[in-house]
Amino acid sequence: MSTSKQFTLKDEEATLDFGAALARATFLNPDDAQTKSGEPGCRSMGAVIYLLGDLGAGKTTLTRGFLRGFGFHGAVKSPTYTLVEPYEFSLCKIYHFDLYRLTDPAEVQYLGIDDYFQQQNICLLEWAERGRDLIPAPDLSISLRGTGTGREISCQTHTAKGERIAARL
């Protein structure tokens, strides 16, 4: 069970829009964008999503769009130095990891990595290969490649959950 989908995005705004569409694809109810109280967020099926690409490929831009899809409009920074940035909503939690600075895969254990990967949480991981066998396998891998001002994106599913998400894109 593995499906691949490709997308061509013309600019940064299209990358943000793709990120928001990806977020909506993780909603349990795809028509839901906020809680009944109007608070940003929604119920998510949870997911582990690897973001693959060279430095500057647009991984953090895609994450910013993803968070906008959940109704978050604050600053989104790359977690290069903090390793993880949490975004907590009333109905789900999103964790954005950047493992680029790890020199040994065992370093992920210092993060308390197992605590982040709960069923309803969404974990977006940049440079996941640096955590190797110590982090869960992805439901979906998204490869980004810069093409001048735009990007080419390839989505590869790895689980039934990844298939459900990709089918909604």
59/110: higher pLDDT: 59
Residue holding tokens 């810069």? 146
Maximum Cα–Cα distance for the chain, whole Å?
Answer: 44
The pairing of strands 47-52 and 93-98 is unpaired
Q: Are 138 and 158 in contact (CB under 8 A)?
A: yes
Give the pLDDT confidence of 58-79 residue by residue, as tens digits.
899 999 999 998 888 888 988 8
82: in domain? yes
Q: Which two tokens stand for residue 55?
A: 């430095």
Q: Is residue 35 part of a domain?
A: no
CB neighbour class for 27 (10 Å; exposed up to 12, middle 13-18, buried from 19): buried
Our count of domains for the chain comes to 1
Q: Which of 75-84, 133-142, 159-168 has the lowest mean pLDDT?
A: 75-84
Report yes or no on 32 lying in a domain.
no
Domain range for 87 is 4-26+42-145+156-167
Considering only residues 151 and 110, tell me which one the structure prediction assigns the higher pLDDT.
151
Per-residue pLDDT, 44: 81
Would you say residue 46 lies in a domain?
Answer: yes
pTM for the predicted model, two decimal places: 0.90
Q: What is the CATH number of the domain that holds 86?
A: 3.40.50.300
Residue 150, in any domain of the structure: no
**What local confidence, expressed as pLDDT, does residue 30 receive?**
57
Q: What is the pLDDT of residue 41?
A: 55
The mean pLDDT value of the chain amounts to 88
Task: Tell me the per-residue pLDDT of 19-60, one tens digit each, with 9 for 90 and over.
Answer: 999 999 998 765 555 444 445 556 788 999 999 999 888 899
Instruction: Report DSSP letters for 111-132, one per residue.
Output: GTGGGT--TT-EEEEESGGGGG
Does residue 98 fall inside a structural domain? yes
Percent of the chain scoring above 70 in pLDDT:
91
The pLDDT assigned to 15 comes to: 95
Task: With beta carbons less than 8 A apart as the criterion, state whether 19 and 62 touch.
Answer: yes
36 within a domain of the structure (yes/no):
no
Judge whether 65 lies within some domain: yes
